[in-house]
Amino acid sequence: MNVGRRCTFGFGRMGVAASRRTTYYVLLTTHCSIMIFHRIYDDKLAQASYLIGCAATGEALVVDPNRDIDQYLRAAEAEDLRVSAVTETHIHADFVSGARELAHRVGAQLLLSAEGGEDWQYAFAAGAGATLLRHDDHFMVGNIGFDVIHTPGHTPEHICFVVTDTAGASGPMGVLTGDFVFVGDVGRPDLLEKAAHVTGASEGAARALFRSLRAFKDLPDHLQVWPAHGAGSACGKGMSAVPQSTVGYERLFNWAFAATEEDDFLALVLADQPEPPKYFGQMKRVNRKGPAILNGFKRPPRLDDARIVDLIRDGAVVIDARSKQEFSEGHHRGTINIPFGRSFPTWAGWLVPYDREFYLIVPDTHEHALDDAVRDLALIGLENIAGYAGASAIISAEANGVELDRIDQIDSRELARRMETGDVAVIDVRAAAEWKAGHLPGVTHIHLGYLRDRLQELPSDRPLVLQCRTGGRSTIAASLLRATGRRDVSNLTGGIVAWHEAGLPVVSDGVA
């Protein structure tokens, strides 16, 4: 692949887009002359990848792939395309990149950023035969042109790609913005400090982001903005669920463009960012060093019901992925509840150790629960699954005389009565932004992800009640505490939502 330099952009007409959703991805297809465009979205990671192909030559580029590389090959095959090049906008922190493996699997050219200075280079680039990209570089995939823009701020090496269908237009159609500009938000500049532990990095990154945004504003209004994340990602604090936008729209309505003074922008962009999951630092190291090539997701062995009991007694890490209701009604003592669903990989990344083998108890209500769980965990680098059992292991254990543990529930009015007498301590395990917006009076806030690190702060002279928004996270928290041996733990049924519905008081910023 030839990479050259081109420093100017022309002005073209914006293409017309139509969208549809399938089981595996959201498919956005634009046919402007010869260009084929797919947006492939993972709901659990709130992460978008892109397949952009040239129908005339059959070549395609994949941008920001995750580790489930078969989905990109299926999408390419459906359009009679061959993945000839793979790239990404930056060293990701929220999932293991699939760029290296996808390029290896199909013999595609791997394109990686060379920006960001010595500390932010891909360590595996040379060994993988990667072509390195710099600001103002230009490359072609078939008749589709890609111009590289260095956009530091979220990370030092971050680049974007301006896309032109050269056979159908004299100027660009859109820009793949990665974690730089989202719909309604921008990439947070504090992850290097908070997740990768680069001391003092936040302010410098925020200033770099401000400068990158000023340059971005000079792009043509009509350019479509195709970001790498949507609502629910911890890579920003207020991004929209809308899949795409335009440069002009974002300049008018994205909060980040309203701040004209650099210091004002710094204060705004660094305030109220969500807590970065603990696994983000691990992902940075893995993606910089070079992710292992998996050659598919491997099913762990199934364990018999008696074996899972023995493992738990021996202190093994066992994740019970059943629903909060099923877990609360009966579970093996010492297991941790992370319900299988949209938030499963996020909380697994917070709570499952990366340096130990672990085991799964999977729900029987979902036909593909095991395969989906293995995939979700592999996407964030949790590959040490030593075995699994079905939910039948719980029923079998009880039938064989194994005493199951249960999580007691308490309703809002009973909790309010006990709070008045001072005989319980309530721990709110929601995010800081939720806490600031409103919380129960007089309770302690400890984010669920940090609960295990702050056990010494929990009162030991009173029973504990765990509370979140609706009871899901607080059930996880209760399971964590009970796994450490704390028995006087219960859960607020329905969380703060039920508290509101009961007409009970909350406080916000100290005001009732």
The DSSP result for 363-416, as a single string, is: -SSSTTHHHHHHHHHHHTT---EEEEEETHHHHHHHHTTPPPB--EEE-HHHHH
Residue environment code for 156-190, b if the CB has 16+ CB neighbours within 10 A, otherwise e? bbbbbbbbbbbbbbebbbbbbbbbbbbbbbbbbbb
Tokens of residue 78, six digits: 């459906």
Three-point CA angle 248, 35, 14, nearest 5°: 20
Tell me which residues are annotated as active site: 468
Tokens of residue 374, six digits: 């293995």
42 CB burial (10 A radius; 0-12, 13-18, 19+): buried
Report CA-CA distances (Å) from 216 to 137, 204, 286, 450: 17, 18, 30, 37
| Residues linked to residue 439 through DSSP beta bridges, in sequence order | 507
- As a three-state string, the secondary structure of 211-234 is HHHHHHCCCCCCCEEEECECCCCC
Q: Which residue's entry shows tokens 């660094």?
A: 270
Intra-chain end-to-end CA distance of the chain, in Å: 63
Three-point CA angle 368, 370, 371, nearest 5°: 70
Residues 6+ apart with CB under 8 A from 204: none
Find, among 389, 392, 409, the residue nearest to 475 by Cα: 409
| 36/71 Cα distance (integer angstroms) | 16
| Residues linked to residue 149 through DSSP beta bridges, in sequence order | 160
| 478/458 Cα distance (integer angstroms) | 13
Q: Please say whether the beta carbons of 390 and 359 come within 8 A.
A: no
Report CA-CA distances (Å) from 476 to 192, 319, 351, 371, 467: 28, 10, 10, 22, 10
Please tell me whether residue 431 adopts helix, strand or coil conformation.
Answer: coil
Q: What are phi and psi of 142, to 5 degrees?
A: 60, -125
